Structure 1
Amino acid sequence: MNTKKYISIFISLILISITLQAKSGEADKLPVVIQELVPAPAVPAHNIVAKGGPKVIKVRMSITEKVITIDKQGTKFRVFAFNDSVPGPLIVAHVGDYIELTLVNPKKNNFEHNLDFHAATGALGGGGLTHILPGEAVILRWKATKPGVFVYHCAPGGAMVPWHVVKGMNGAVMVLPRDGLKDREGKPIKYDKAFYIGEQDFYLPKDDNGNYKEYIHPGDGFSDVLEVMKTLTPTHVVFNGSEGALEGDNALTAKVGETVMFIHAQANRDTRPHLIGGHGDYVWPNGSFNDPPRTNLETWFVPGGAAGAMVYKFRQPGTYVYLNHNLIEAFILGAKAEVKVTGKWNNDLMEQLMEPTRIAD
């Protein structure tokens, strides 16, 4: 009888048992929900107030490296995207839920990627546990302990961190309190629909003639783009990937009487959201749902590397403009959207008493 052999096997079995027990925890006993992620400005279907106890919310994101058009002049730029979308899709959970992410870096890609969740605790927000090369996948599970809206982004290390972020590799997570949102008196705040806006800054070099350079092949222009990034002056500041992405036929829509949540994320620069023609009825500028919302704001501040949320009930029909109220960035660089609202006009709120009329000199 080979005593040493059996002792070795016995020790191995004990180690395997210990490992399995270490991996087995509260999350393994919970029901599983597959969340269908949708491109911005859409938001995954969800309940404001949690139904039942905590759950494991499984999501899958694949990384895309592709060329997109970022302005109305047809300028092309190679971006990195989660689920083929800039910004990456919104993930929604409640406090106490677990988010289980499968992150895939397809073989056809050229760069290493990872994911840092500002909503998560430990290991650089998951960034230390999700590094994957082309052709690899990883699964990360983390517990949602803080209620609010939070940024996530790629953070592979060094200069690659800002480069990946300003190439579009960022998104947001919303973690709702299990009993829903409350005002400062503890009364419920509800909304009929939600829009998710990712504000993106791009930094494109120009040639000797003042035209934007286009870099089609992977890795091209890294040094040139880095030099523009060092000026801290973006050439484009846009909503949802490109200038005009949320205007005209792609405008957001609502009805008079509807209450709408706007989730606004900016992974890199400060921004000042404002709704022309409306207000922030309830606003969480820094994203924390643990704190009572501020009320009746005209403009609010979302610091770079954060997300904020606003709830507003539309009271008049018409086309509203939702923008970054740095008006240079909104009207010249592209950081604005339209909200087309239908319904009956209320003259008590606003009425034109005289049409434009020529007056005597």
Structure 2
Amino acid sequence: VHIANGMYGMILVEPPGGYPTVSHEYYVMQGELYTAGKYHAPGLQAFDMEKGIDERPTYVVFDGAEGSLVGDKALTAKTGDTIRIFFGNAGPNLDANFHIIGTIFDRVYPEGGTVGPGARPDHARAGRRGNGRGAHPAGAWDVPRLL
């Protein structure tokens, strides 16, 4: 219930020496809100357990708010810029398929490039090449890079 009420965030621990320099660096979190009120109902909204159990969010939000990355709040870059995006999916239920229309990622570092049991260390350090999107289960995050 805590995550479904917006109690989540992203913590970044940089590697020793930091990351290579890029033109733009963005941090984006996806989350879900399951409100008792209908979509756009005014006022403070209680958590709706039935919607949560049924995985029917009233809102799927980025950075905690509806419309947070559109219009004058859109993430911007120019042709030739390098971009690093730290993307997380707080969930608690839905998968995310983060992508950018019209481009592919130069590199994607699943789970931030951490190396777990059975992972190939060279894969984690170098990142997957040429991905257009990545599937992110609730609680997962990636670091896509665009050139």
**Alignment partner of 2:57 out of 234, 248, 252:** 234
Give the TM-score normalised by the residue count of structure 1: 0.35
Residues 201, 236 of structure 1: 8 Å contact kept: yes
Higher relative contact order (CA 8 A, sep 6+): 2
Residues 279, 298 of structure 1: 8 Å contact kept: yes
Letter in 1 for 2:29: G
Residues 200, 239 of structure 1: 8 Å contact kept: yes
Once residues 134 and 39 of structure 2 are traced to their aligned partners in structure 1, the CA distance between those partners, rounded to angstroms, is 34
Residues 283, 295 of structure 1: 8 Å contact kept: yes
Once residues 288 and 229 of structure 1 are traced to their aligned partners in structure 2, the CA distance between those partners, rounded to angstroms, is 31
1:169 Cα deviation from its structure 2 partner? 1.2
- Superposition map of 1:83-232 within 5 A: 163-180=1-18, 189-206=20-37, 213-216=41-44, 221-222=46-47, 225-232=48-55
Give the TM-score normalised by the residue count of structure 2: 0.80
Letter in 2 for 1:165: I
Letter in 2 for 1:280: F
- Superposition map of 1:1-361 within 5 A: 163-180=1-18, 189-206=20-37, 213-216=41-44, 221-222=46-47, 225-268=48-91, 269-290=94-115, 291-292=124-125, 293-313=127-147
SS at match of 1:249: helix
- The count of aligned residue pairs is 136
Residues 286, 302 of structure 1: 8 Å contact kept: no
Q: Percent identity?
A: 31
Residues 282, 295 of structure 1: 8 Å contact kept: yes
Once residues 72 and 41 of structure 2 are traced to their aligned partners in structure 1, the CA distance between those partners, rounded to angstroms, is 29
SS at match of 1:198: strand
Once residues 281 and 254 of structure 1 are traced to their aligned partners in structure 2, the CA distance between those partners, rounded to angstroms, is 15
RMSD value, Cα: 2.2
1:167 Cα deviation from its structure 2 partner? 1.5
1:180 Cα deviation from its structure 2 partner? 4.5
Once residues 235 and 221 of structure 1 are traced to their aligned partners in structure 2, the CA distance between those partners, rounded to angstroms, is 12
Q: Rg: which structure is higher? A: 1
Q: Which residue is equivalent to 2:118?
A: none
Stretches of structure 1 that go unaligned for 5 or more consecutive residues are 1-162, 182-188, 314-361
Once residues 39 and 96 of structure 2 are traced to their aligned partners in structure 1, the CA distance between those partners, rounded to angstroms, is 27
Once residues 295 and 190 of structure 1 are traced to their aligned partners in structure 2, the CA distance between those partners, rounded to angstroms, is 19
Residues 95, 138 of structure 2: 8 Å contact kept: yes
Stretches of structure 2 that go unaligned for 5 or more consecutive residues are 116-123
* Runs of 4 or more above 6 Å deviation: none
Once residues 89 and 41 of structure 2 are traced to their aligned partners in structure 1, the CA distance between those partners, rounded to angstroms, is 25
SS at match of 2:12: strand
Letter in 1 for 2:25: A
Q: Which residue is equivalent to 1:78?
A: none
Letter in 1 for 2:28: I
Once residues 221 and 294 of structure 1 are traced to their aligned partners in structure 2, the CA distance between those partners, rounded to angstroms, is 41
